Structure 1
Amino acid sequence: MTSDADRSAATAECVADFEHAAAAVLPPDVRDFVAGGSGAETTLAANRAAFDRTFLVPRVLRDVSRCTTDATLLGRPAAMPLAVAPVAYHRLVSPDGELATARAAKAAGVPFTVSTLSSVPVEEITAVGGAVWFQLYWLRDGARTLELARRAEDAGCEALMLTVDVPWMGRRLRDVRNRFTLPAEVRAATIDTGGTAHLRPTAGSAVAAHTGQAFSPALTWATVARLREHTRLPLVLKGVLAPEDALRAAESGVDAVVVSNHGGRQLDGAVPSLDALAELAPVLGGRCELLLDSGVRSGTDILRALALGAAGVLVGRPVMWGLAAAGEAGVRRVFELLAAELRTSLGLAGCADVTEARGLRTVR
């Protein structure tokens, strides 16, 4: 018998279809937690506007009869230049949570990034198989953070992604107004620090209060050097927007930088990630790998990011919408749609593969 979730996944023809389907089934406060940004959500909106004003200059009379989306990310093969972004608490939107997402990512041949605030322990996620990266928030207890990095490495994670733009959580007004609180059955399974995020506050967001207690606002370049010395895994810095910071990251032995404004959830008014990529890539000059996060909603968006110098993109909200609407089948369908759109866009732009896409001109 075909379930409602299977029908929802089968009939979706773009990411926006899943956004609408997820909005219809999620509780309003959870929908706001996933979709919302900080402040007036200026940067949240600007991320999409940056893609919409970036136009590609296609090439013609090129053989695209064998058009492929195959890519290499952090030295490993991937079926397309995409990884799942680190997003907290997948069990907020579906009972299987990160396990369903990890299975879908494995089937799609793309890496899955486990959040420090994952609602499933990292060991259970790596047991699914597939390529798994681990996103690290620097905790107030530095020794415990290094233990967490070692735990991820021992579990089989293939890379560490240090988020560097969260000294504390941005003021996300939707969560503040909802006094957002985690339900009892959802917790940060890898770093559980008690019930702060489950206690409904008299004002503000319980999740913001929890992260404020757990995360260190004293993260510096010395911390990056400490982590670099501690791990043999590829090290990625997520949340870089300034060219000067990207250059210093490369000089510090970082393997990749994620150009990201945290999906518009941190500094409201920060530059759109795609605009930052356009400025940063020529300055960095290939000193380390570049990934783009924030606002990706289609295969054409992926092509735009490649043309502006990215090796690949991270996708967060679309994955959560697919998971909320149709579970694992929904996430699989999101990946299928993005792969099909990317292949179509590559061919129409005259590119047989993602390497040729990096030679496309853009008009912005």
Structure 2
Amino acid sequence: MNLQLYPTAFDLRARARKVMPNFSFEYMDGGAGQDIGIKRNWDALDAVELMPRYGRVVSPPPVDAFLFGRPYSAPLGIAPIGGPGTAYPGAELHLAAAAQAARVPYTLGVLSGIDVEQAAKIAPDVLWYQLYRFAKNDHKIGLDLARRAQAVGVHALVLTIDTPVRTIRPREVKSGIVNPFKLTMRLRLDAMTSPRWLYALAKHGIPRFVALRRYMPPNLTSLEESAAFIRQEQGGAFTWEEIAKYRDVWKGPLVLKGVLHPADAERAVALGVEGLFVTNHGGRQIDALPASIDALPAIRAAVGKKATLILDSGVRSGVDVARAIACGADAAFAGKSFLWSLGALGPKGPAHLIDIYANDLRATLGQLGCMTVGELSTIGKRHPGAWTPEQLAG
């Protein structure tokens, strides 16, 4: 029934808009400025054309993939999402469970409602972990979080480098969301329009920074006090020297999230970084950046096969996953659309969306005449928005 009613990610988005509180939908859907960055990501992906080849029988081809030497059911994953509980209370539990069941990577964000130890129990085979910069006391908090992730078997550590400052997201502001999140009277009245969101809130409570609780003074009990502590400890972008420090501590695959310039990609690889998220943060930080897909080919040309590349930002379908791989990625991750799925269908949403992506990718491969995911890199493509060396030098 879900497949009939909601066959695409955009159908889930439309449903979420109808049934969720307005502030919840605005949080999960909005970006920086006038949402131009979000539109640019979508338009740039839509502009990539793939040339099919016919003449051989292609029964539904496999879409399994290897990332950092580990097998997954498809070259797609769930990107780290900051504060997903604001969009849907308990989001991390449902995302982790769906990813584990489907065998696709789930990247838990550090500012989440569950800690890495709990996530590892739910998704032991597919768990990645994302960190922001906690630089005080020689990165005491950040490095300890990395060690905790290592101890519970996290498969990849992701350092986010593209959030040096917090920017304004107008749709969130207009909807009444305050930082830190607080259920004001305005938001309470808004939430009363959505029984599903209220039920999830009653079950899971107001989202809290669970992973960081052990580092806070014991007298900090309120959400506001916890948020103030985090603002004091966290901020800025990782420097190259700091990335090298994490490389020394972390023994598994190290991934940088937020790379758009090939020179940054080359420097990261020289430090021993194995993976790069090519992303403009989903258009949520500043809407003047290039579309992620348009930056991807130059990065692949710069690093060759020395790094695993993950396209993030704007991915809405299996066709988009195929476009990303054809243009140089090893996989494509999505974040926003998984919040849509939770808003639309609750706990059942993420699993349904993974099926949408995988089935669409399988059909796309067959239509293009590809026997495997790897053959996408060999087909003809037209990518009008790709950045050129001359533009990068300018």
> TM-score scaled to structure 2, two decimals?
0.84
Counterparts of 2:272 and 2:334, CA distance in 1: 25
Counterparts of 1:189 and 1:296, CA distance in 2: 29
Specify the alignment match of 1:285 in structure 2: 304
Map 1:260-275 → 2, pairs under 5 A: 260-275=279-294
Q: 1:126 aligns with which of 111, 120, 128?
A: 120
Q: 1:268 to 1:67 in 2, by over 3 A?
A: same
Q: 1:52 to 1:174 in 2, by over 3 A?
A: same
Residue 168 of structure 1: how far off its partner (Å) = 1.7
Counterparts of 1:46 and 1:33, CA distance in 2: 19
Specify the alignment match of 1:339 in structure 2: 358
Specify the alignment match of 1:84 in structure 2: 78
Pairwise CA RMSD of aligned residues?
2.1
Specify the alignment match of 2:257 in structure 1: 238
Unaligned stretches of 5+ residues in structure 2: 184-205, 384-394
Specify the alignment match of 1:225 in structure 2: 244
Q: 2:62 aligns with which of 52, 68, 72?
A: 68
Counterparts of 1:122 and 1:133, CA distance in 2: 9
Mean Cα deviation higher: 349-358 or 295-304: 349-358
Q: 1:66 to 1:231 in 2, by over 3 A?
A: same
Specify the alignment match of 2:186 in structure 1: none
Aligned residue pairs: how many? 351
Specify the alignment match of 1:161 in structure 2: 158
Mean Cα deviation higher: 88-97 or 72-81: 88-97
Specify the alignment match of 2:334 in structure 1: 315
> TM-score scaled to structure 1, two decimals?
0.91
Specify the alignment match of 1:3 in structure 2: none
Specify the alignment match of 1:19 in structure 2: 13
Asked whether the equivalents of residues 167 and 215 of structure 1 are also in contact (C-alpha less than 8 Å), the reply is no
Residue 289 of structure 1: how far off its partner (Å) = 0.9
Read off the aligned partner of 2:53 and give its amino acid letter.
Answer: R
Specify the alignment match of 2:24 in structure 1: 30
Residue 327 of structure 1: how far off its partner (Å) = 2.3
Q: 1:135 aligns with which of 130, 135, 138?
A: 130
Residue 244 of structure 1: how far off its partner (Å) = 0.3
Q: Secondary structure at the match of 1:296?
A: coil
Matched, 1:106 2:100: yes
Q: 1:321 to 1:66 in 2, by over 3 A?
A: closer
Specify the alignment match of 1:203 in structure 2: none
Counterparts of 1:334 and 1:293, CA distance in 2: 16
Counterparts of 1:270 and 1:244, CA distance in 2: 16
Counterparts of 2:262 and 2:162, CA distance in 1: 15
Q: 1:323 to 1:10 in 2, by over 3 A?
A: farther
Q: 1:61 to 1:238 in 2, by over 3 A?
A: same
Map 1:207-218 → 2, pairs under 5 A: 212-217=231-236
Read off the aligned partner of 1:274 and give its amino acid letter.
Answer: I
Asked whether the equivalents of residues 240 and 257 of structure 1 are also in contact (C-alpha less than 8 Å), the reply is yes
Deviations 1:141-177 (A, max 9, x none): 2111100111111122111000000112222122233
Asked whether the equivalents of residues 88 and 339 of structure 2 are also in contact (C-alpha less than 8 Å), the reply is no
Mean Cα deviation higher: 212-221 or 233-242: 212-221
Q: 1:134 to 1:10 in 2, by over 3 A?
A: farther
Residue 317 of structure 1: how far off its partner (Å) = 1.0
Mean Cα deviation higher: 281-290 or 228-237: 281-290
Residue 50 of structure 1: how far off its partner (Å) = 0.3
Read off the aligned partner of 1:268 and give its amino acid letter.
Answer: D
Read off the aligned partner of 1:131 and give its amino acid letter.
Answer: V
Deviations 1:208-256 (A, max 9, x none): x886544232520001000000110110000000000011111110010
Read off the aligned partner of 2:127 and give its amino acid letter.
Answer: V
Q: Secondary structure at the match of 2:212?
A: coil
Q: Secondary structure at the match of 2:337?
A: helix
Counterparts of 1:363 and 1:94, CA distance in 2: 38
Q: Secondary structure at the match of 1:258?
A: strand
Counterparts of 1:138 and 1:302, CA distance in 2: 29
Counterparts of 2:281 and 2:155, CA distance in 1: 22
Specify the alignment match of 1:253 in structure 2: 272
Asked whether the equivalents of residues 168 and 212 of structure 1 are also in contact (C-alpha less than 8 Å), the reply is no
Residue 12 of structure 1: how far off its partner (Å) = 1.3
Asked whether the equivalents of residues 86 and 207 of structure 2 are also in contact (C-alpha less than 8 Å), the reply is yes
Q: 2:207 aligns with which of 186, 191, 200?
A: 186
Counterparts of 1:277 and 1:70, CA distance in 2: 22
Counterparts of 2:253 and 2:144, CA distance in 1: 17
Asked whether the equivalents of residues 28 and 87 of structure 2 are also in contact (C-alpha less than 8 Å), the reply is no
Q: Secondary structure at the match of 1:190?
A: helix
Read off the aligned partner of 1:102 and give its amino acid letter.
Answer: A
Unaligned stretches of 5+ residues in structure 1: 1-6, 200-205
Counterparts of 2:151 and 2:278, CA distance in 1: 28
Residue 105 of structure 1: how far off its partner (Å) = 0.7
